[in-house]
A and B are shown apart, each in its own frame.
Chain A
Amino acid sequence: MALEVDGQSIELDEEGYLVDLSSWTPEVAKALAAEEDVELTDEHWDIINFLREYYEEYQIAPAVRVLTKAVGKRLGKDKGNSKYLYSLFPYGPGKQACKYAGLPKPTGCV
């Protein structure tokens, strides 16, 4: 599978995740979201940017439970719950947000 972004072909695995994590740009995130008819808002970007920072620091994509807790700490309790995260990423905050953020699928996520 591949995705066309700004004339560049970005290689994706069979589930739509980036094969080469370093090929990510914000434009790639928008294109991946557009594939699923999602338009990225500032609220989406808060989560995407958080995930990228988390991966940079710990070299893993966090489990949903960890993401939820960390978002609550960083962005406020009203956002640190699965209802809010699912409203942004209905296919599952772990899977869908990590995909847009250019991270591998979270460890332990099926």
Chain B
Amino acid sequence: MATKKFMFVNRKAPYGTVYALESLEVVLISAAFEQDVSLAFIDDGVYQITKGQNTDGIGQKNFSSTYKALGDYEIKKLYVEKESLEERGLTPDDLMDLVWEDEDDDWAEKPSIILVDRSEMTDVLADQEVILSF
């Protein structure tokens, strides 16, 4: 099967709607097809990968730790839009430390988060063959 560049665009907060969780599940399933998968976090989507999420008060499963498994699934490109962070008073330090392990480099942990500005994000999106928006 030919490899295509797949991008999953996440624009919504993690809870309140089912979009974030559905996106994450499709991402994990898509990894089985060995495609070139990347994710984008834009607008409220940046909240999906923030540190210290706690869902006790809303009675929903906290699935934020599942993003840490993405590296195991060979998903190593998580593009985060700088402006979306700034508009929400967030900095890269507010995001989880998401990494992948390089098997060819003695399992060294390498960062998966790639910070891009809005115009760079436009270029990344333009470069994709398949885009799925959540």
A contact set with B: CB distance below 8 Å: 57-60, 62-63, 65-66, 69-70, 73, 107-108
State whether B61 touches A108 (Cβ < 8 A). no
Which of B2-10, B23-31, B40-48, B108-116 lies at the interface with chain A? B23-31
Q: Is the CB of B72 within 8 A of A62?
A: yes
Contact residues of B with A, CB < 8 Å?
Answer: 25, 28-29, 31-32, 61-63, 65-66, 68-69, 72-73, 103, 107
Shortest distance in angstroms between A106's beta carbon and chain B's nearest beta carbon?
9
**Nearest neighbor of B103 in chain A, beta-carbon distance:** A69
B28 to A, closest residue via Cβ: A107
Are B25 and A57 touching (Cβ within 8 A)?
no
Minimal beta-carbon separation of B134 from chain A (angstroms):
16
Contacting A59 at CB < 8 Å: which of B29, B61, B73, B103? B61
Q: For residue B68, which residue of chain A has the nearest CB?
A: A58
B65 touches which of A57, A66, A69, A107 (Cβ 8 Å): A57
Bound CA–CA A86/B51 (angstroms): 37
- For A62, the chain B residues whose CB sits under 8 A away are 69, 72
In whole angstroms, how far apart are the Cα atoms of A103 and B25 in the complex?
A: 16
Q: Are A108 and B28 in contact (CB under 8 A)?
A: yes
Which residues on B sit within 8 Å (CB–CB) of A107?
Answer: 25, 28-29
Whether the pair A59, B66 counts as a contact (CB closer than 8 A) is yes
Evaluate contact between A58 and B66: CB separation under 8 angstroms.
Answer: yes
Among the listed A60, A65, A66, which residue makes an inter-chain contact with B66, where contact means beta carbons less than 8 Å apart?
Answer: A60
